[in-house]
Amino acid sequence: MQTLFEKIAAREIPAAIVYEDDLVLAIRDINPQAPVHVLIFPKTALPRIAEAKTEDTYLLGHLLMKASEVAATLGLTTGGYRLVINNGANGGETVPHLHVHILGGRQMAWPPG
């Protein structure tokens, strides 16, 4: 069965796309937790970072490089931003398809709640 984010990548479910290439897609979060809240994820379903394998190394590097580029495109570089990966139940993961949250436009708190 396809994941939610695979369906979005296949244009079966609509989303506000902010970046796309052959490997990754970046969309606006449907329930934003900051003035800018974008999700960037691989188009192929890797459930979570804990299940990444050595052969995913290039993809994971690409994902982070593109997260940085998307943040810059959205004007977040100067003010700063946060990248978040929620892994598993205690991590707060709700969509089992690896994704990086790009959060910006406000002061972030630490530690996270």
| Residue 102 DSSP label | E
Please tell me whether residue 18 binds ligand 5GP under the rule CB under 6 A: no
Tokens 């910006």, residue located: 104
Kindly report the backbone phi and psi dihedral angles of residue 56, in degrees, each rounded to the nearest multiple of 5, phi listed first.
-90, 0
Q: Mark the segment that binds ligand 5GP (CB under 6 A) among 52-60, 65-73, 74-82, 85-93.
A: 85-93
Min separation Cβ 102 and ligand 5GP, Å: 11
In 3D space, the residue among 24, 18, 1 whose CA is nearest the CA of residue 9 turns out to be 24
Min separation Cβ 46 and ligand 5GP, Å: 13
Q: Which one of residues 3, 6, 9, 15 is an interface residue with ligand 5GP (CB under 6 A)?
A: 15
Token pair in block for residue 3:
């994941």
Tokens 């979570």, residue located: 48
Please tell me whether residue 103 binds ligand 5GP under the rule CB under 6 A: no
Kindly report the backbone phi and psi dihedral angles of residue 49, in degrees, each rounded to the nearest multiple of 5, phi listed first.
-60, -30
Please tell me whether residue 31 binds ligand 5GP under the rule CB under 6 A: yes
Return the active site residues.
Answer: 99
